[in-house]
Amino acid sequence: MIMGANKRRILMERLYRRSVLRPEQVYGLINYSIKTKAISVIRLGDVMAKLLSKRDLSTLESVAPFLGIPYPPSPSLLSDLDRSVRLADVVGVTYFPRRARQLLKFMKKKKWSPKYLTDSFINDLMYDHGYLHALIRDHRVALVGRSAKAAAKKLKKQNLHIALTVDLNHYDHLREAFHVLKTNKDNWDIALVGASVPGRILCVALAKQLNKTSFEIGHMMDALAHPKQWKKHHDRAKFKKRWIQKLDRKLQY
């Protein structure tokens, strides 16, 4: 069970010895950046802590297809992640002590201090507070990820228009996804990216290379695609299991 937002924030501020932005503050930064200079908002949860620290990687073998990465993680992937996360503007960090220590060691080793810290569950918080839907309502949005088309279809029924949808299932398809977004950059203002590990790299690239604000929303793309199921269960594990089973069936053919 996930700890409450206020308790998580207190714990994270103790662990990282930094203030942690609340969802309304992140929403404000995102809105302001669309009018001025683009930012990237990414999250460093347990999986990202393992990849960045290069520890406990064996635990990722069974879920690598779901994460959109090769196993074992390739040197190019690890290098891209290392470089990209350190260029992100707002970084959501895990509150689990073991993974937090791995992130802190990575930060110390790289002499890196993110400009802003927030909760690694900032995607959940932005969804629950209605900020994701506000961004979609008020801006031209590109959705990126394996559930992007399904989310766009569901949002259309709510009279919310999506400017562009782009598939991104694996690290190997990252350049292709970036190219589509770059080619159509005049048609969208912000990218909401639910593409697991490759999504972190993409978000930073969009902000730095295209001056386009991006928010890595992770499993909230599934919530946008299946709002009734998400509201009923609010259980990311169920969606994760469903995707792993679907990907396993694809790999068998």
Alpha-helical segments (H) within 139-234: 148-156, 174-183, 196-210, 220-225, 227-233
Q: Whose CA is closest to 216, among 47, 18, 14? A: 47
Compute the distance between CA of residue 160 and CA of residue 163 in angstroms, rounded to an integer: 10
8 Å CB contact between 124 and 147: no
What are the residue ranges spanned by the domains of the chain?
18-240
Instruction: Report which DSSP code applies to 21.
Output: B
Q: Whose CA is closest to 87, among 197, 195, 217, 208? A: 208
Amino acid at 60: L
CA atoms 63, 117, 130, 155: torsion sign: negative
**22 C-beta neighbours (distance < 10 Å), count:** 17
Q: In the prediction, which pLDDT does 233 show?
A: 60
3-class secondary structure, 93:
strand
Q: In the prediction, which pLDDT does 229 show?
A: 86
Q: What would the pLDDT profile of 153-207 be if each residue is shown by its tens digit?
A: 999 999 999 999 999 999 999 999 999 999 999 999 999 999 999 999 999 999 9
Quote the tokens at residue 52.
């960045």
How would you label 133-172 residue by residue, b for 16+ Cβ within 10 Å and e otherwise? bebbeebebbbbbbbbebbbebbeeeeeebbbbbbbbbbe
Q: In the prediction, which pLDDT does 212 show?
A: 98
Q: In the prediction, which pLDDT does 235 show?
A: 63
Q: What is the mean pLDDT of each run of 10 residues along the chain (253 residues)?
A: 81 95 98 97 97 97 95 98 98 95 97 97 96 98 97 97 97 98 98 98 98 97 92 62 55 47
What is the edge-to-edge ordering of all strands in the sheet holding 141-145?
116-119, 90-93, 40-44, 213-216, 190-194, 141-145, 164-166
8 Å CB contact between 193 and 216: yes
